[in-house]
Amino acid sequence: MAYSNIRYTEKVKHFTQYFGLLALLLLVWEALSRLGVIQPIILPPPSQIALVFYDLLKNGSLLKHIGISVLRVLEGFGIAAVLGLTLGMGIGLSQNLARMSDLIIQVIKPIPPIAWIPLAILWFGIGEQSKVFIIFLGAFFPVIINTIDGIRQTDHKLVEVARILEVSKSRFILEVVIPGAFPSIMTGLRVGLMVAWMCVVAAELIAASGGVGYLIMDARQLSQSDVVLVGMITIGIIGKLMDSIISWIEKKVITWKPVFIGV
Amino acid sequence: MNNNNSVRPKLLIENLSKSYWVNNDELKALQDINLTILNGEFVAIVGSSGCGKSTLLKIIAGLENGYKGTVLLGNEKISGPGLDRGMVFQEHRLLPWLTVEKNITFGIKDKKSKVTATTVSEHLDLVGLSGFANAYPFQLSGGMAQRVSIARALVNQPELLLFDEPFGSLDALTKIQMQKEVLRIWEAEKTTMILVTHDIDEAIFLGDRVVVMSSRPGTIRKIIPIDLLRPRDRSSYEFTQIRKAIYHEFFTEAEEPFSYAI
């Protein structure tokens, strides 16, 4: 009895900690709007945004935009994940490949995907391909760099064990290197997916006629700041959901170590 | 209990020297090491840290190359690692993502061989961990993890088992327990064993002979045969006399520390 009581209060505490600050922020925002401190044309109140959100959901247009954007992100991220993982493993395992590719990777990495838009249009036109390309560029580098790092951090002590036991090269890679790099690879995929989703607005600057990025740009031209905010919040929520899915997968796969939850 | 019935040398080390180069300066890790280890013998090597005892072990294991002199296992020169030698390190070095069972089969070259299932359970029994086949290393205590790493080293049935300060990070009670276990395994398996340690008691308790090394450069100062019956009583007169003699190899009379026993 006492035990379940404690668990119940713990749950309430965790729930409050998780949502409390956000709720407070929304309340203050709403209050300041009602008191006339914040002009609705500059920043519409949460209640108005909620209403627009509901309307866009009800007429189905928001879901349509989300569907278009998510598909683009999954395509771009999927290509980035496959290429980033394979190239990252190759580079991580081969000194020669690492020396040959390092300079190229380091120079291209800092170029923001948005700077690629003119070339993307020249190369792929204004259709789906150029948008997927921009998203791919955003997701590719976090994946490849974390994969290389993870492999490079293979524990030297385990390398010695594998040498002593004369473990074959393929088993060494499959049973020592890749599992050891796995946490780092998952981090790369998480960051990659996040950046891919962040790039959706940049990608949809290219002559789009649908997608959450398009929704924001379109509303901007019509000065509908409430719709802009609906688009922004939608991006935030979906990004959070995608991240949750990957971290859930990570927890399911990595069962072999306890997780640090903070001091 | 000397193995006088099998006096064939298992390992022959002649005029072994090994240097490292640090910023163009030669750092002599080992100098003129001569040591013959017999089949089935248990040799303990003691020395303070930096005396090159771990380097010596790594050369025998085949992890260090570029030495001068001769190191023969049976009749063959050691030039790399091999399944004829097993090694237990100071840390357990288990793969954290594999279960105890998989960690042990990691040491079996051909996984399709049908010995696997029985061999693994036999070795789990041997180290006293029968119920833990499916546990992950992070779920084991330090002593248990070290038992698994002993089982992993034994599963290939090596001719020579090398211990590199294997119980250095364990608490005193677990350490004594593990020393007894190693002795039991040695008596059951008749594997030739070399143990590197900085614990004088451990060396006397386990070894047929204790090799005392001195530092910079690492040389063999003395080889002391331990002619005491096993299991050895750490508080017996003979044991303490040998301990005292070995202490004198490390410390002069004036700075001799308090006699300590774990």
Q: What is the pLDDT of residue B96?
A: 92
φ, ψ of residue B39 in degrees (nearest 5): -60, 130
pLDDT, averaged across chain A: 91
Nearest to A157 among B62, B93, B136 (CB): B93
Interchain contact, A166 vs B109, CB within 8 Å: yes
Q: What is the pLDDT of residue A82?
A: 97
Mind listing the domains of chain B with CATH numbers?
A: 9-84+159-250 (3.40.50.300), 91-157 (no CATH)
pLDDT-wise least confident of A115-124, A193-202, B102-111: B102-111
Q: What is the pLDDT of residue B2?
A: 46
Nearest to A175 among B82, B86, B95 (CB): B95
Interchain contact, A160 vs B89, CB within 8 Å: yes
φ, ψ of residue B104 in degrees (nearest 5): -75, -40
Nearest to A176 among B62, B95, B107 (CB): B95
pLDDT tens, residue by residue, A87-97: 999 999 999 99
Q: What is the pLDDT of residue B36?
A: 92
Nearest to B107 among A165, A254, A257 (CB): A165
Interchain contact, B97 vs A182, CB within 8 Å: yes
Mean pLDDT value of segment A169-177:
91
For the stretch B219-250, what's the b/e string if a residue is b when 16 or more beta carbons lie within 10 angstroms of its beta carbon? Answer: bbbeebebeeeeebebeeeebbebbeebeebb
CA of A160: which chain B residue's CA is closest?
B63
Q: What is the pLDDT of residue B116?
A: 65
Question: What are the extents of the domains in chain A?
Answer: 1-35, 44-253
**Is A158 a residue whose pLDDT tops 80?**
yes
DSSP code for A174: I
Q: What is the pLDDT of residue A202?
A: 85
Q: What is the pLDDT of residue B262?
A: 55
Q: A152 exposed, middle or buried (CB, 10 Å; 0-12, 13-18, 19+)? A: middle
Q: What is the pLDDT of residue B5?
A: 47
Residues of A in contact with B136 (CB under 8 A): 255-257
Per-residue pLDDT of chain B (262 residues; tens, 9 = 90+): 444 445 668 898 989 988 888 888 888 888 899 999 999 999 999 988 878 888 999 999 999 888 899 898 988 888 888 888 999 999 999 999 999 988 988 877 655 555 567 778 888 888 888 888 889 999 998 889 999 999 888 888 888 999 999 998 888 888 998 899 899 889 888 899 999 999 999 999 999 999 999 887 888 988 999 988 888 998 899 999 999 988 888 886 555 555 555 5
Q: Which of residues 110-169 of A touch B (CB under 8 A)?
A: 157-158, 160-161, 163-167
Residues of A in contact with B156 (CB under 8 A): 165
Residues A44-253: name the CATH superfamily. Answer: MetI-like (1.10.3720.10)
Residues of B in contact with A161 (CB under 8 A): 89, 93, 95
